[in-house]
Amino acid sequence: MTATIARIGTRPIRIPLRRPWGPDVHDLSVVEVAVEDSDGAVGHGFSWTPTIGAAAVRAHLDHDIRRFALGREADARVLWDPLWTHLHEGGGGGITTIAMAGLDLALWDLAGRRAGRPLTDLIGRRHDAATVYGSGVNLHYPLDELVAQAERWVAAGFDAVKVKVGSPDIARDVERIAAVREVIGPDRRLMIDANQRWSLERADRAIGELAAFDLAWIEEPLRADDLAAHVELRRRIDVPVALGENLYTRYRFAEFIDAGAVDVVQPNVVRVGGITPFLRIARLAAEGGVDLAPHLLIELSAQLALTLPGDHLVESVEDASFDALDALAEPSPVAVSGATASTTGRDGLGIRFTSEQTDAAASARPTEEP
């Protein structure tokens, strides 16, 4: 008899950052999701958002998602489409898909634990190691701190690094990227990320000046949902365009790929709704002839990269993995050595959060706990 979803519980978690991502970004918000099936097996997943929306995500899980999912088959691939169809009247992406990811990940974890297999092997392993690049949320760093970070990346053995741009004065960006290129040398790949800060004209001008530093890609140069502007920018520049951390459904990824607006797609496994849609987006990228580089969440992204054909860069933000932030109750499912990441072979997702970092204020509202 097919197991069904019997219980769903949530727990809010606040994880302090060791290196703030900006004046008002000092911690990460996680909503841990535990799902129990009718046979008594339990899986753990999570939703994630750096600053905004964690309370809304948890409320969506505790009410709309729980109400719909209870009693249905405990299979992420079976549940995802009808759940999204049910929820998308309230929003096709954003809070909707971030909340859906918590349950999707928990169901994949449950499947892996029941099978006694790591996530990578459950999906289908293609590689034993993935290539990792050094990344930092560093636009607010003084130049000497940025240079020191680049030096740490070189010392760690990274063959590719990514730096934030988008200063009010383009000359500041040029100075900083020149300094990083000098530190990392001519042979390492250098990517830049504008985090949607530019207009079309400003992006054209800035990239024209920064392209001299042999850029592997420019990430999120424009507002993430402005397809027409990305098409025009891609027509004007030679630097490859990367985007996707702020696209929320496979439909939006398909539009950007089909329009020729992107060279590297960067789905965030939580923001797109979990592993189930992430794998669909990966297939879209392969069919469309564009590269894929998962966004953040290395404990998950590295595991998924090992299941995909080809070599996919995995992002390692300095001191920002769950493991580096001491947020995990058990050893990490991913081991990073120099510029490579591999799995440690733990069943399911292999991600369990400590009890010490529960957000006490947010926990005031009761929830079911398996």
DSSP 43-78: EEEEEEESSS-HHHHHHHIIIIIHHHHTTSBS-HHH
Q: Token pair for residue 72?
A: 């249905």
Pick left, alpha or beta for residue 338 (phi over 0 → left; psi -120 to 50 → alpha; otherwise beta): left
Contact, 158 vs 135, CB < 8 A?
no
Going by their DSSP bridges, the two strands 215-219 and 189-193 should be labelled as parallel
Segments forming the whole domain that contains residue 49: 5-116
Say if CB 277 and CB 251 are below 8 A apart: no
Residues 112 and 126 in one domain: no
Are 219 and 193 contacting, i.e. CB atoms less than 8 angstroms apart? Answer: yes
What are the Cα distances from residue 51, in Å, to 22, 27, 30, 113? 11, 7, 10, 31
Q: Say yes or no: 19 and 76 in one domain.
A: yes
Catalytic residue among 44, 60, 162, 164: 164
Is 37 found in the same domain as 10? yes
Q: Looking at residue 25, what is its pLDDT?
A: 86
Confirm whether 44 is a catalytic residue.
Answer: no
Q: Which of 63, 95, 116 is the last residue of a domain?
A: 116
Q: What is the pLDDT of residue 235?
A: 97
Residue 367, domain member (yes or no): no
Residue where one domain finishes, among candidates 116, 133, 159 = 116
Do 161 and 84 have their domain in common?
A: no
Predicted TM-score (pTM) of the model is 0.95
Q: Are 132 and 159 in contact (CB under 8 A)?
A: no
- Of 51, 83, 116, which residue is a domain's last? 116
Check whether residue 143 and residue 277 sit in a common domain.
yes
pLDDT for the residue numbered 51: 83
Reference 297, options 128, 135, 94; nearest CA is 135
Return the pLDDT at 370.
Answer: 58
pLDDT of residue 24: 82
146 and 77 in a single domain? The answer is no
Residue 328 lies in a domain: yes
Same domain, 81 and 158: no
End-to-end CA separation in angstroms for the chain: 21
Q: Are residues 133 and 168 in the same domain?
A: yes
CATH of the domain at 293: 3.20.20.120
The tokens describing 61, both together, are: 């899980």
pLDDT for the residue 355: 85
Question: Residues 110, 163: one domain?
Answer: no
Q: Are residues 177 and 308 in the same domain?
A: yes
* Token pair listed for 119: 């996530």
Residue 353 lies in a domain: no
Residues 9, 149, single domain; the answer is no
User: DSSP string of 205-271?
Assistant: HHHHHHGGG-EEEEE--S-TT-HHHHHHHHHH--S-EEE-TT--SHHHHHHHHHTT--SEE---TTT
- Residue 22 identity: G
Closest CA to 220 of 253, 243, 246, 189: 243
Q: For position 363, what pLDDT does the model report? A: 65
86 catalytic per annotation: no
Listed as ranges, residues in the chain with pLDDT below 70 are: 357, 359-370
Is 196 among the domain residues?
A: yes
> Residue 342 in 3-state DSSP?
strand
Q: Is residue 352 part of a domain?
A: no
What does pLDDT average to over the chain?
95
Report how far residue 8's alpha carbon sits from residue 369's, in angstroms, rounded to the nearest whole number. 7
* Tokens 């009808």 found at: 82
From the candidates 60, 162, 230, 295, give the one annotated as an active-site residue.
295
259: which 2 tokens? 């329009």
Q: Does residue 62 sit within a domain?
A: yes
> What is the tally of structural domains in the chain?
2
Same domain, residue pair 25 and 154: no
Q: Residue 366 falls within a domain, yes or no?
A: no
- The answer to whether residue 133 is domain-embedded is yes
Compute how many other C-beta atoms are within 10 angstroms of the C-beta atom of residue 241. 24
CATH number for 52? 3.30.390.10
